[in-house]
Amino acid sequence: MSNQLAGKVALITGANKGLGLETARGLGKLGVTVVVGSRDEARGRAAVENLRSEGITNAEAVRLEVTNHEDQKRVARYLQERYGKLDILVNNAGVELDGADFGGDFNTTSTVTPEALRKTFDTNFFAAVSLTQTLLPLIRKAPAGRIVNLSSILGSLTLHSDPSAGIYNKKAFAYDASKTALNAFTVHLAHELRETKIKVNSAHPGWVQTDMGGSSAPMQLAEGGKTSVQLATLPDDGPTGGYFHLGESLPW
């Protein structure tokens, strides 16, 4: 697979640590040139040095605060000038501001503040839509573009309304609703691009040991990055407009 992926370019947002960095690592090992987007430029450069120390030499960092439209346009110009295309966009950057303890049961619907709700949507939804729209002309220039939206099983309305589902008593309203909205973006954009070679999918990485997931999460980072890498490297006959975890479809 790595030979087929050589020469492809991926931008991963929020990639200086956690799932974003693990996704960059996974794609870099396959021969993809990985552009690490990070709102803190120094941390992004440190992440790239880390990747290079592991033998992933095809890595570089760009400053990208996903909620800043000027940053979005600057990165688009950079990618255009340097590569003339973008093969893979992984909308990984995200926040969880409900203050939920994912190790227990919770429902933040009546307590989450309007400010937390807006900030969550700004990063998890509006920024992903805006960045994708800004970069779509470059993705169209790639032979077969791939867009991966980092969602969560917590965005599934089907499972949230099912008393037998494992997430039934875990309701971080701002976070969950932002991921449900992101799933809607996946479905709508995939439909718009259905006659092209661009594939758009939502990824649930799993409950992973990250700053957000916490230490009680059952999955290690190496496992958590796999779904994004799979969807970023789908073959021509792969799915689009879907919602996946490690190759398995999830209910919307």
Q: How far is CA 163 from the centre of its chain?
A: 28
What pLDDT does residue 222 have?
Answer: 73
188 domain residue, yes or no = yes
Q: How many residues does the chain have?
A: 252
Nearest to 32 by CA among 58, 63, 67: 58
Nearest to 59 by CA among 87, 29, 39: 29
187 domain residue, yes or no = yes
Q: What is the greatest pairwise CA distance in the chain?
A: 52
Percentage of residues of the chain with pLDDT beyond 70: 93
Question: Residues 75-125: pLDDT tens digits?
Answer: 999 999 999 999 999 999 999 999 887 778 999 999 999 999 999 999 999
116 domain residue, yes or no = no
Number of domains in the chain: 1
Question: Residues 192-216: pLDDT tens digits?
Answer: 999 999 999 999 997 645 555 555 5
Range of the domain at 144: 2-95+133-155+182-249
125 domain residue, yes or no = no
d(CA 96, CA 98): 6
107 domain residue, yes or no = no
Tell me how many degrees the CA angle 94-10-52 measures, rounded to the nearest 5: 95
62 domain residue, yes or no = yes
What pLDDT does residue 102 have?
Answer: 75
CATH of the domain at 204: 3.40.50.720
Tell me how many degrees the CA angle 71-6-245 measures, rounded to the nearest 5: 70
pTM: 0.95
118 domain residue, yes or no = no
Output the CA–CA distances (angstroms, integers) from residue 167 to 156, 176, 178, in the order listed.
9, 11, 16
- Asked if residue 220 has pLDDT above 90, the reply is no
Output the CA–CA distances (angstroms, integers) from residue 199 to 54, 189, 232, in the order listed.
30, 9, 9
Kindly report the backbone phi and psi dihedral angles of residue 29, in degrees, each rounded to the nearest multiple of 5, phi listed first.
-65, -25
Contact 207/172 with Cβ under 8 angstroms? no
d(CA 151, CA 142): 24
d(CA 210, CA 194): 34
Contact 139/198 with Cβ under 8 angstroms? yes
171 domain residue, yes or no = no
